[in-house]
Amino acid sequence: MDLENSFEKIYRTYFMEVYSYVMTLAKNPEQAEEITQETFYRAIKSRDNYRGEASERTWLCAIAKNICMDMFRKKREKEELREEIPATVNAVSGEVYSLEKLMMDKSSSLQIHRVLHQLEEPYKEVFSLRIFGELSFQSIGMIFGKSENWARVTYHRARLKIQERLA
């Protein structure tokens, strides 16, 4: 039996088991389908690394679990980056803006950068690492030799200081 047929047989044999396993992790049919397909794709790509120490089912589920964990990690990091920044009120027009929206406007961005430049440490650096460096709170905490929670609190305090000075 050639390699292509053997992987087709593995696919037909284990697809539903891998998919069911992934569904217990992802809890989303579309994501489970995508992860299952990616699992078999990676299995085919790394077939030379399969040592046969575990069953094919176990090997495929291990690949699927790693893909899920990577997906969850990336999703969590994206959510952290997209955390909503509290709105500020334009003193002249009374319009409500988020700090992110203001950063998009060039004149507002310049004003925010001026305020940021005058901000004391560690607030300035933590805010910059988070917004411009797009680092996670965990990474920022590690840079400073502090906890993830310290980085979160410092970042949020920096945001509040910037908003106060803009108002």
DSSP codes joined into one string, 2-58:
-HHHHHHHHHHHHHHHHHHHHHHHH--HHHHHHHHHHHHHHHHHTGGG--SSS-HHH
In this predicted model, which residue has the larger pLDDT, 41 or 78? 41
User: How sure is the predictor about 18, in pLDDT bands with cuts at 50, 70 and 90?
Assistant: very high
Closest CA to 18 of 32, 4, 28, 7: 32
In this predicted model, which residue has the larger pLDDT, 147 or 100? 147
Mean pLDDT score, 140-157: 88
In this predicted model, which residue has the larger pLDDT, 55 or 101? 55
Please name the residues in contact with 38: beta carbons below 8 A apart, sequence gap of 6 or more.
67
Cα–Cα dist 62/156, whole Å: 38
| pLDDT of res. 164 | 83
Please name the residues in contact with 29: beta carbons below 8 A apart, sequence gap of 6 or more.
23
DSSP 104: H
Q: Which residues of the chain are in CATH 1.10.10.10 domains?
A: 87-166
Q: Which residues of the chain are in CATH 1.10.1740.10 domains?
A: 3-77
pTM given for the model: 0.48
Mean pLDDT score, 41-69: 86
User: How sure is the predictor about 65, in pLDDT bands with cuts at 50, 70 and 90?
Assistant: very high
Q: Residue 29: is the preceding peptide bond cis (ω within 30°)?
A: no
Residues 108, 110, 111, 117, CA torsion sign: positive
| pLDDT of res. 85 | 47
CATH of domain 87-166: 1.10.10.10
Task: For domain 3-77, say whether CATH 1.10.1740.10 is its number.
Answer: yes
CA angle 70–76–81, rounded 5-degree value:
125
